[in-house]
Amino acid sequence: MFERLSRSWGLVKASGSVLKQDKELLVFPLISSIAAILVGACFILPMIGMGALDGLSGGDNAAVSAGVYFVAFLFYTSQYFVIFFFNAALVGAAMIRLNGGDPTVKDGLNIAMSKIGSIFGYAFIAATVGMILRAIQERVGFLGKIIVGLLGVGWTMATFLVVPVLVARDVGPIDAVKESATLLKKTWGENVIGQGGIGFAFGLITFAIILCGIALIAAAAFTGSVAVIVLAVVITIAAVIASALIHAALSGIYAAALYRYATEGSGTAGFDTNVLENAFAPKK
């Protein structure tokens, strides 16, 4: 447990050394979050009015028309596209830094724009897989839901390096998915530390922020001042959001470094080679 925590913290520090040099990389997950919220609002509000969400969740055995599923598919595709687009911009900028360059936000966006067709294709594939898994999950029992959940985790792991592949190579989304799965099988085996490590570390960080926020809000409540209470709530929310943005940025940087290490077998600028080698440790 403590060894895993130490390794996770090592991954955070290694990725952080790159993020520290280019704090503007935080702009990409910030814009991505705002864009995803706007896209979500454009779809979810009309769907609520249609009662579509109740049908999709299976509530009251409501019959869901093909049209509603089509709208849901468009929603998934749009959300995935926004996420993958700005993640590609982040990964592209990170790769410039890992190659010894000095990236700007414009550099990252230009890279993403140059891959926009492939990014949309990958969003279409991801949305299709997501809809299929959800449709299956709605029609199976408890054990089936667990199995479908595991399939979803497997898909997430297998496609972890798709965006770096799309950014680094001139390939289509299908070939990118295949290469990502091949790299996973070739280098990680079943011991994927990259996603779990950083995720675990930030899970602890976010939990600590929430605990401190609760304590801060409680202390503010004793003052009896509404302004102080509101300030404490705002500080807590801002800290959680900042943690989420840093988590997203570090994950993108790690994915870029991991792809380069997997394809070139060497360390990267600003990244501890030993940390990367631990991420590729085969299962014993």
Amino acid at 20: K
234 inside domain: no
Predicted pLDDT of residue 2: 57
Q: How far apart are CA 192 and CA 199, in angstroms?
A: 12
Predicted pLDDT of residue 282: 47
Predicted pLDDT of residue 128: 92
Instruction: Enter the DSSP assignment of 169.
Output: S
221 inside domain: no
Q: How confident is the model at residue 28 (pLDDT cuts 50, 70, 90)?
A: very high
Instruction: Enter the DSSP assignment of 59.
Output: G
213 inside domain: no
146 inside domain: yes
Q: How far apart are CA 173 and CA 235, in angstroms?
A: 41
% of the chain beyond a pLDDT of 70 = 76
229 inside domain: no
Mean pLDDT computed over 203-222: 92
Q: How far apart are CA 150 and CA 133, in angstroms?
A: 10
Predicted pLDDT of residue 59: 46
Q: Which region among 104-118, 157-171, 264-278 has the lowest average model confidence (pLDDT)?
A: 264-278
For the stretch 63-72, pLDDT in tens is 456 667 777 8
Q: Which residue has the higher pLDDT, 246 or 266?
A: 246
51 inside domain: yes
Q: Is the pLDDT of residue 90 over 60?
A: yes
Q: Which residue has the higher pLDDT, 45 or 228?
A: 228
Tally of domains in the chain? 1
**What global pTM score does this model have?**
0.80
Predicted pLDDT of residue 175: 93
Q: Is the pLDDT of residue 80 over 80?
A: yes
Predicted pLDDT of residue 9: 59
% of the chain beyond a pLDDT of 90 = 33
Mean pLDDT computed over 22-30: 90
Q: How confident is the model at residue 213 (pLDDT cuts 50, 70, 90)?
A: very high
**Residue 8, domain extent:** 2-204+239-279
Q: Which region among 40-44, 105-109, 242-246 has the lowest average model confidence (pLDDT)?
A: 40-44
* H-state helical runs in the chain: 2-21, 27-50, 52-56, 66-98, 105-114, 116-137, 142-158, 162-168, 173-183, 193-223, 226-264, 273-279
Predicted pLDDT of residue 191: 42
Q: Is the pLDDT of residue 225 over 80?
A: yes
Kindly report the average pLDDT of the chain as a whole number: 80
Count the residues in the chain: 284
227 inside domain: no
Predicted pLDDT of residue 3: 57
Predicted pLDDT of residue 214: 94
Predicted pLDDT of residue 34: 92
Q: Is the pLDDT of residue 236 over 80?
A: yes
For the stretch 156-197, pLDDT in tens is 888 888 999 999 998 999 999 999 888 877 655 434 566 677
64 inside domain: yes
